[in-house]
Structure 1
Amino acid sequence: MGGFLSLAGTKPGISESQEVSQYETCKRQRMSFSISEEIPRLIPSLPDELSIQIIARLPRICYFNVRLVSQKWKKTVMSPELFKLRKELGTTEEWLYLLTKVEEDKLLWHALDPLSRKWQRLPRMPNIVYEEGSCKGSSALWMWNMLGPSAKIAEVIRGWLGQKNSFGQMPFCGCAIGAVDGCLYVIGGFSRASAMKCVWRFDPMQNAWSEVTAMSTGRAYSKTGILNNKLYVVGGVSRGRGGLSPLQSAEVFDPSTTTWSEIPSMPFSKAQVLPTAFLADMLKPIATGLTSYMGRLCVPQSLYSWPFFVDVGGEIYDPETNMWNEMPNGMGDGWPARQAGTKLSVVVDGELYAFDPSSSLDSGKIKVYDQKEDAWKVVIGKVPIYDFAGSESPYLLAGFHGKLHILTKDANHEIAVMRADLQDNSDSIPSSSTSVVAGSSDSLADSDSVVWKVIATRDFGSAELVSCQVIDI
């Protein structure tokens, strides 16, 4: 009986040991299949296509922690495909990137998420590569004025008088900043009095810096603007045989090919009609600003002779004709100037704004350019600015979320980001389609229709404002 049962439970030709071995093999196969199914997936039980859709809808501020989940999550949140999907879904976010200068002239970058009001510290820029050089003669004074008061004039001049190559020890400064195609660019600058061609790029997706194709010309204190997803760099100063000299040249960077191309140089037409040869030799034309407006590059200009700046209008570059034309008189002559002749401006929802500082250290005005009347008009009558003495850039302008913003140091010496709001809409961050102001400029200038709301502050110690950019990814 027992033998009968034993024979009935055993398949012909298969021993008990073979059956156990086969069972274990099948079990391992099932386990292996289950593991292979789980490991590749970002979220268990969900296809990766659906998981990526979920990740693309997360706020960008979450990505710093998301990348710690696993190597696959890290690879996903750093992939260009994810950020392309965010554009398709309309979930991109505008972040403010702020460049500050701390003691010993070190440059540090910080990013602000305006929605969460959280700051992030960017990785340090790579070590600056420079060539040895020095400044001689009166151009040394001109260089100091371009560097700004933070360069400590007394120390510089004493060193210049006592040591032939003292300007060769000048720290890195004068770089230009731009943002295009979701990346941040740091362009040129002075290092040991040599104007550099180098260009560095910060990719927020990779959270890393890299060096890209250099410019054709070494330049410092140049101006940048974006047109048709290309980065334009114009003017600045470089080092010639007789010392420092202003540049009329301009070039454009295409991020899709990482190549630079030259465009026609600025004519500086008004500098060519000075009444005497003496003035033509003494007054040097320089570009004092740049704004991309109405599909063209608007470059206000000045004539410079240390320590004076004389406004002389400006010129406009049209990429369709590849030509420079003289700027309308009202636009160029009325463009408000910051300190040292620099003209700071920003475009918000197609309107060109500029800050007009007052003689007071705690106020100023915002002007908007009226294209039809070729005139600058006061649109905000008072801006709470604390213009601390000795600061290289006491304030900056930025436009994001469809609103005008000003960056400055507040009464506690903390860096504050302030937003211009309508009186009845000051508690909400507007959508990108909301205008910064509404109604006539006169009514806004003469009333309290616009209020300033502090959306973020940060104590950066003794850091000074240098520049800022907005990136939408």
Structure 2
Amino acid sequence: MSTPENKRKRKRTTTKNKVKKKKQLLSTPQSTLFLSIPYDLLLHIVARVPVLYYPTLSLVSKSFRSLIASPELYKVRSLLGRTESCLYVCLNMVDHFRKGPNWFTLCRKPDKTLTGKERSGYILARVPIPHSPNAEFSSLVAVGSDIYNIGVNQDRFKLTDCSSSVTILDCRSHTWREAPSLPVGLYACSAGVLDGKIYVAGQSPDGYSSYSLTKSVEVFEFDIKTQVWDPVPIPGRETKSPYMGSTACIDGKFNVVALGESVAYDPKEGSWDLGPWLSGHMCSYSYCEIENVLYSAAHGALMWYDSQVKNWRVLKGLVGLPKFPPCAQVRLADYGGKIVAMWDLNAPYGNSPSYKTGIWCAEIALERLNSCEIWGKVEWVDNMLTIFDSFSLVKVIAATV
């Protein structure tokens, strides 16, 4: 006779059998067959897989995690010509002062068959990077598979103090290592990369005022190949208005941005000159450089500037790109010659008075029609991540792996 108690027992037995069967399947030889392939052959197989799938592959087993973090894999990728841009996102969460920044990377949604209704098929996956140091927008620059973090004080309760600290994130192994320190500690560091050198602008303790921005700026040069700083700062040019802590590398020059002007250092000539007017579009850190063109989202619309036009122009096209919210944190990045725009968007959380925040992302292909016209084609727009706590969007940056 079937009773409710008997039905519950049968249901529990069925559930136990399913779990047991699943464990048996996971322990069958078929699940480890792939790892029984010779290591060199396995390296060549995984090296041909796009890096967008690596976060998912690293979840398969400890062996896969070890393989994906191995230097041999990326040597093979390089030999096969399979290197590609890998997008990273740095966030400061509410526990930032206790645990440091959180890092995420763009990856394919696991176990997802894309259809015509899919927005993108991408998500932001958390990167487990232990002991991540404090980072700021202007302190981060990418060189190949490394992300340099320059001149940020690592005492989380003294973030206004100057610092000579330099650390490097290896985007292949996802580990940090120490690098040669700046010759002197600087305030408001901002870095850029030109012709195998990193240039860092900042204010020395002698020229820094804790009450207001000053006009005195020092610039140091770092040789990426030899990993050596020039101990003597580049003879600077004082700006007429206060230094903003922002820089841009366009037209082969290192532009140091002030509130009302910018000055440009030409490494080939070893001289300074008055630079283009950039400050109005760089004050919110919503900018990036792509193929000698500066792009900005500082005024709610995507705009661009280069030395040919010598004027800011609106990026045309952009069908399907929503308007950035007025108070949104917007960050742009060069993603293999395309723009990646990322911003936050608040939405009500159920019936409660609190909000959840979505991190939205758009990938935009660029086409230059003539010297005065650049068009953007929106390839996809999607919500990459939902966060229920306060956070700041530090930077979006692409490394080559």
CA distance in 1, matches of 2:250, 2:218: 20
Q: Report the secondary structure of 1:52's partner residue.
A: helix
Instruction: State percent identity of aligned pairs.
Output: 22
For 2:364, the aligned partner's letter is A
Q: How far has the Cα of 1:458 moved from its partner?
A: 0.6
* Mapped partners of 1:439, 1:189: distance in 2: 41
Question: What is the SS of the residue equivalent to 1:83?
Answer: helix
Counterpart of 2:74?
Answer: 83
User: Does residue 1:405 correspond to 2:340, yes or no?
Assistant: yes
Q: Distance in 1 between matches of 2:210 and 2:127?
A: 35
Residue 381 of structure 1 and its aligned partner are, at CA, apart by 8.0
- Aligned-partner Cα distance in 2 for 1:72–1:125: 19
**Maintained 8 Å contact 2:58/2:64:** yes
2:295 to 349, 353, 361: 353
Residue equivalent to 1:292: 249
Structure 1 pair 451–299 and aligned structure 2 pair: CA distance change class (3 A):
same
**Contact 1:235–1:287 (CA<8 Å) still a contact in 2?**
no
Residue 60 (str. 1) matches residue 51 (str. 2) = yes
**1:130-186, CA deviations, whole angstroms, 9 ceiling, x for partnerless residues?**
xxxxxxxxxxxxxxxxxxxxxxxxxxxxxxxxxxxxxxxxxx978711111311222
- Aligned twin of 2:266: 318
Structure 2 spans left out of the alignment, 5+ residues: 1-33, 109-119, 348-356
Q: Counterpart of 1:379?
A: 315
1:416 aligns with 2:379: no
Amino acid paired to 1:254: D
For 2:193, the equivalent position in structure 1 comes to 226
Residues in 2 aligned to 1:96 and 1:236: alpha-carbon distance in whole angstroms: 30
| Equivalence for 2:222 | 253
Matched letter for residue 396 of structure 2: C
User: Which of structures 1 and 2 has the bigger CA Rg?
Assistant: 1
Contact 1:67 1:73 survives alignment (8 Å): yes
Alpha carbons of 1:236 and 1:125: their partners in 2 closer, same or farther (altered >3 Å)? farther
Separation in structure 2 between the aligned mates of residue 237 and residue 336 of structure 1, nearest angstrom: 25
Bigger strand share: 2
Q: Which has the higher contact order (CA 8 A, sep 6+)?
A: 2
Q: Report SS of the residue matched to 2:277.
A: helix
Larger helix proportion, structure 1 or 2?
A: 1
Partner Cα separation in structure 1 for residue 310 and residue 44 of structure 2: 48
Q: How many residues of Structure 1 are paired with residues of Structure 2 in the alignment?
A: 335
Q: Which residue of the other structure, out of 374, 380, 386, is the alignment partner of 1:459? A: 386
* Cα displacement (A) at 1:84: 3.1
TM-score (norm 1): 0.60
Q: Distance in 1 between matches of 2:165 and 2:248?
A: 23
AA aligned opposite 2:397: Q
2:343, 2:360 within 8 Å by CA — same for their partners in 1?
yes
8 Å CA contact 1:226–1:232 kept in 2: the answer is yes
Is the 2:54–2:107 contact (alpha carbons within 8 Å) kept by the matching residues of 1? Answer: no
Q: Over the residues paired in the alignment, what is the CA RMSD in angstroms?
A: 3.6
How far off its partner does 1:402 sit?
Answer: 2.7
**Paired AA for residue 257 in structure 2:** P
Question: Is the CA contact (8 Å cut-off) linking 1:368 and 1:378 kept in structure 2?
Answer: yes
Q: Secondary structure at the match of 2:183?
A: coil
TM-score for both structures, normalised by structure 2:
0.70
1:188–1:196 CA contact under 8 A, matched in 2: yes
- Identify if the C-alpha distance between structure 1 residues 116 and 233 changes in structure 2 by more than 3 Å, giving closer, same or farther: farther
Q: Secondary structure at the match of 2:75?
A: helix
Are the structure 2 counterparts of residues 223 and 127 from structure 1 closer, same or farther at C-alpha, using a change threshold of 3 Å? closer
Contact 1:444/1:450, CA 8 A, preserved across alignment: no
Name structure 1 gaps, 5 residues minimum.
1-41, 130-171, 272-283, 303-310, 358-363, 422-435
Letter in 2 for 1:194: D
Q: 1:90 to 1:460 in 2, by over 3 A?
A: farther
Residue 73 of structure 2 aligns to a residue in which SS?
helix
The residue that corresponds to 2:149 in the other structure is 186
Aligned in 2, Cα 1:400/1:386: closer, same or farther, shift over 3 Å? same
